[in-house]
Amino acid sequence: MNLSNIFLFVGLPYAALLLFVVGTTQRYRNKGFKVSSLSSQFLEGKSLFWGTVPFHFGILVVAGGHLTAFLIPRAVLAWNGDPLRLMILQITAFSFGLSTLVGLIALLARRLTNTRVKMVTTRMDLFLEVLLLAQVVLGLWVALGYRWGSSWFAADLSPYLWSLFKADPNITAVAAMPLPIQLHIIGAFLIVAIFPFTRLVHLLVAPLHYLNRPYQRVMWNWDRRAIRDPATPWSKTRPKNN
Amino acid sequence: MDIRAQISMVFHLDKCIGCHTCSIACKNIWTDRKGAEYQWWNNVETKPGTGYPQKWEDQDIYKGGWYKDTDGRIHLKGAGKKKGLLNIFHNPSMPTVDDYYEPFTYNYLNLVEAPAGDDQPTARPVSLITGEPMDVKMGPNWDDDLSGTPDYARNDPNMAALSAAERDAMFQLERMAFFYLPRICNHCLNPGCVASCPSGAIYKRGEDGIVLINQKVCRAWRMCVTACPYKKSYYNWHTGKSEKCILCFPRMEAGYAPACMHSCVGRIRYIGVLLYDADKIEATASADEKDLVGKHLEILMDPFDDRVIRSAKANGVPDSTIKAAQNSPTYKFIKEWGMALPLHPEFRTLPMLWYVPPLLPVMASVKDTDGAQKDKLNPIAKTWSDNWLYDTSTEELWGTVEQARMPLKYLASLFSAGDTTLVSDRLKRLMAVRIYRRWKTVGDVSEEKMSRVLKETGLTQEAAEGIFYLTALAKFNDRFVIPPAHREQAMEMIEFTGDVKGNTGFGFREAPSRGM
């Protein structure tokens, strides 16, 4: 348990988490206007399709898989008890990982070559895409080279992550991992750390509430009955700003 | 009965001269910003033509508006909860910048800064997106006055309503006719943009029915761009927000007319309050296609009806708004006189901007003169060449309407979901007013004929006089009738105007630049 391990697997995750919480709160409160991903489909639509669709569906499944193994490791281990089911899980996860990779490469190529898209590309966008690319390549490497990830993740890494959340970090397992896996873990913490300062924030405003609202929205500046009613006290409808 | 008020507009197309002053007024106030250069919240199209963006009326391409399913309910064509969220990563029917046009400016500085040389310096066009030199290939009104007809007018989606022979007849040189169609956001009762917005950023204001996009809540999912069948919601590629016509609400609240209306040279625009029954919106939008216009007219309520007034008051509609509704020029045109029609009612968004269809291109038939008729005509007023007659005579009563130069089917495809009787009713009323006035001022029409014409179109002499007044003589305050601003509801009381001081145009409280 040397110092660099403590820094990378205890210090970094806590710093990342802190940055994530403080950064997103600060961005939402002070730069609420920018809490979205700056879409460039308007400037270029066709090649975007071949990047964004495989990337998003791929990363949703892959990230969801990681989350599942983190949250319910025992259920994943039980599922993997049967070799056939393990194979199905691994192959599915790997193909979605490949889809993420293909999409990400297409997106990066589009960002670098299309002159119109370059106009709405920031250095942070490029940095993030390269970081994600490295993370996906590492992930696929780990999946190929260190079988069977879904099982050892659930068995070894899930307890490590839980120990972080319980404020009782136990890094014995993670310190013994091979280098590519360690890099993949560090990459994940880096992504969490820079999350609030990138276009990734659009993940936090995913419009799931759309499913629960009526289609049409009508708004009165104030409650239209209340403001006409002399019995309503002024303080109730008094504007905050004036 | 749930009575609400809506600010509505009527466009009298016979008076539109296609000068684009409205577009420029709007552009100067609202969209002269980076990322919004290509946006024309108000634009004027020549019809027949493909419009802006290209072929916006063709919902097989853009999937805008609502469609009625076999179960009798309406669904968004290209957005909605299922389709919208499934396509959230890539919106397949969304127009891109090439469907509008690449905004450009000219490198004027080169004219003064170019070094001495053998050639005259030029101001090359440069793209306002990339800043690089470009060839200008498209603009918002590239098809003005039927220019480029083979590419534009002949590809007008409304031509689908005509047979091949009728289509060709429209483009014979001596029969060619066109008219202008100014378009802004329709501030619909059943807006597709509001329904499609996953973030819930778009809403209809209860007080006046103006549809707005909250720039802070908009998260750039761009579903409104697809869902609006009129393509009047625009994506700002620089700020990453969608924007649309706001009916100049800051001006309206201060008692000024919207910029487009205020600047209108032809005085074609009328603004007034309509009272409508919000309970019936869904049923109206789901009506059969042939009943759409009729049902739409039915939910616009009589502002003099006691029950309507009572229900409006219970809803908090102020007395001054009700009074404005009773004086409304739009109510008169739309409901009382039955002169106006909505644009593309078959999109089922229940647009609240109405159009008086143009009579002039319809009745201006050019005929081969026979000698006998030519002798009867005043040579200056009616003949523009020895062989051809620009016939505005009233000899055949409805003949010119029925054998229109601009096919009624074409107008019906624009304004009445294909029902030609609705269009010809309105055209006949326009003609009846002309005959009535001719009887009154020129006197070469018999009184008997004039009464027959008015009777056939269901107008009275007072109504004809009213139509004539509002069409030809109306002063600004007759055309612009909105209630005085209610300070307690005005935006200024909710938002401190000092917050946006120093920001031009759209009033961003922070620089709308990105960087994250």
- Domains of chain A in start order, with CATH, are 3-208 (1.20.950.20)
Residue B381: Cβ-neighbour burial (10 angstroms; 0-12, 13-18, 19+): exposed
pLDDT at A49 over 80: yes
pLDDT at residue B474 in the model: 93
* Per-residue pLDDT tens digits for B66-99: 999 999 999 999 999 999 999 999 999 999 999 9
Residue A1: Cβ-neighbour burial (10 angstroms; 0-12, 13-18, 19+): exposed
Contact call for residues B304 and B326 (beta carbons, < 8 A): yes
Written as one letter, the residue type at B109 is L
Q: Are residues B97 and A42, on separate chains, in Cβ contact within 8 Å?
A: yes
pLDDT at residue B498 in the model: 55
pLDDT at residue B362 in the model: 72
The CA-atom distances, in angstroms, between A186 and each of A182, A221, B232 are 6, 49, 47
Q: Phi-psi bin for B178: left (phi > 0), alpha (psi -120 to 50), beta?
A: beta
* Per-residue pLDDT tens digits for B209-246: 999 998 888 999 999 999 999 999 999 999 999 999 99
Which one of B195, B215, B219 has the shortest CB-CB distance to A215? B195
Calpha distance A152→A80 (Å, rounded): 11
Calpha distance B33→B509 (Å, rounded): 15
Which one of A118, A207, A222 has the shortest CB-CB distance to B221? A207
Q: Are residues B238 and A239, on separate chains, in Cβ contact within 8 Å?
A: no
pLDDT at residue B375 in the model: 55
Domains of chain B: 358-476 (1.10.3650.10)
Q: Looking at A47-51, B111-115, B445-449, which range is the least confident one?
A: B445-449
Nearest CA in chain B to A50: B90
Place of tokens 């489909």: A41
Q: Are residues B206 and A224, on separate chains, in Cβ contact within 8 Å?
A: yes
pLDDT at B19 over 60: yes
Confidence of residue B407 (pLDDT cuts 50, 70, 90): confident
3-state secondary structure of B248: coil
pLDDT at B189 over 70: yes
Confidence of residue B497 (pLDDT cuts 50, 70, 90): low
Residue B307: Cβ-neighbour burial (10 angstroms; 0-12, 13-18, 19+): exposed
Mutate to test the interface with B, among A33, A40, A107, A128 (most CBs of B within 10 A): A33
Chain A residues with CB under 8 Å of B37 CB are none
Confidence of residue A229 (pLDDT cuts 50, 70, 90): low
pLDDT at A129 over 90: yes
Q: Are residues A207 and B493, on separate chains, in Cβ contact within 8 Å?
A: no
pLDDT at residue B173 in the model: 72
Which one of A27, A32, A116 has the shortest CB-CB distance to B129? A116
Chain B residues with CB under 8 Å of A198 CB are 516
DSSP, res B470: I
Write down the mean pLDDT value for chain B.
87
Chain B residues with CB under 8 Å of A211 CB are 81, 85
* Of B379, B352, B70, nearest in space to B230 by CA: B352
Calpha distance B225→B237 (Å, rounded): 13
Contact call for residues A171 and A160 (beta carbons, < 8 A): yes
pLDDT at residue B361 in the model: 74
pLDDT at residue B509 in the model: 52
pLDDT at residue B255 in the model: 84
What sign does the CA torsion over A152, A154, A156, A160 have?
A: positive
Nearest CA in chain B to A226: B316
Mutate to test the interface with B, among A31, A48, A204, A215 (most CBs of B within 10 A): A215
Calpha distance A80→A158 (Å, rounded): 15
